[in-house]
Amino acid sequence: MNLVLIITDSQTKSMVGAYGNPKVDTPHLDRLAAHGIRFENAYTSSPVCTPARGAIFSGMQPAVNGAWANNMSPQRSIPLMGTIFREYGYRTAYTGKWHLDGSEYFGDGEPGGGFEPDWWFDGYRYAHAIGPEMFAKYKSVKTAAQLREAGFTEDKMWGHMVADRAIDFLNQVGDDEPFLLVVSLDEPHGPFVAPPEYWEQFETMGIPEPPNYNASVEGKPAMQQLQRRQNGDVPWEKRASFVNRFYGCNSYIDREIGRVLDAVEQLHGENTVIRVVP
């Protein structure tokens, strides 16, 4: 039996249509939910990126594996998922965001976790693929016009390049080779970069203000109360462009997930389990 693990970043339950939000546009995740098991509750060992990922790939709590804060790595003596699966005869491929090498957000370009190196494509490798000038714009663009000016077509997207490598692995792995494929997508995490048309898709939709926006923080944790005192109430209108880009990137990455799902179905559909972790 094969396993495909798809990870998205900062994608909340409300950003998937199958969970009841009519404003989002996620037909491929909705299709997967309709034909599989949809979980209503999810729990994490830590609501922070590196510790959560470290727990997933080691099977140990952050305080045990050593990756208890961002930009840390699990202890070198602890085998991670790629090593464990290879020990049992699996092919293992990983492509996309890693954030477990102890360097910084985009990584150091070095394959880790015991995974085969040929499909590795962390943020470091993406930055080198598009070049330093374009990567600087990747982190700073704020409008669809700026995306076009910088040349951000579909083939320049990190998510598209990650999906390409996942599909390449699916084409190359043999029917008689059990495999683990991890497709780790940074999107829809900021800076929410997507082909310009996806940002434009939501500009005129008038996404409504959530009922709990600027809700009282009375009785909430001290850190949340401190943030409110420092930042005050932010008018929904000031959040509109941020929300539009978030929704647009969320819609875009669903298309890349769809490409991977189609490839799994066509090439290994009879004996593959797919798991999506937002």
Verify whether residue 249 is a known catalytic residue.
Answer: no
Domain spanning 2-277 has what CATH number? 3.40.720.10
- Predicted confidence (pLDDT) at residue 241 exceeds the cutoff of 90: no
- Predicted confidence (pLDDT) at residue 206 exceeds the cutoff of 80: no
**What are the domain boundaries of the chain?**
2-277
Q: How far apart are CA 256 and CA 253, in angstroms?
A: 5
Residue 272, classed as helix, strand or coil, is strand
Q: Which two tokens stand for residue 181?
A: 């494929």
Report, in this order, helix, strand and coil percent for the chain, each rounded to 5: 45, 10, 45
Interval 40-98: pLDDT, tens: 988 899 989 999 999 999 999 999 999 999 999 999 999 999 999 999 999 999 999 99
Angle among Cα 130, 263, 80 to the nearest 5 degrees reads 70
21: region left, alpha or beta (phi > 0 left; psi from -120 to 50 alpha): beta
What is the pTM assigned to this prediction?
0.94
Mean residue pLDDT of the chain comes to 95
Whole-number Cα distances in Å, 152 to 145, 193, 231, 240: 10, 8, 33, 22
- Predicted confidence (pLDDT) at residue 128 exceeds the cutoff of 80: yes
The residue from 28, 49, 160, 189 that is catalytic is 49
In sequence order, the β-bridge partners of residue 183 are 6, 95
Indicate the residue type of 94: Y
The residue from 28, 99, 160, 189 that is catalytic is 99
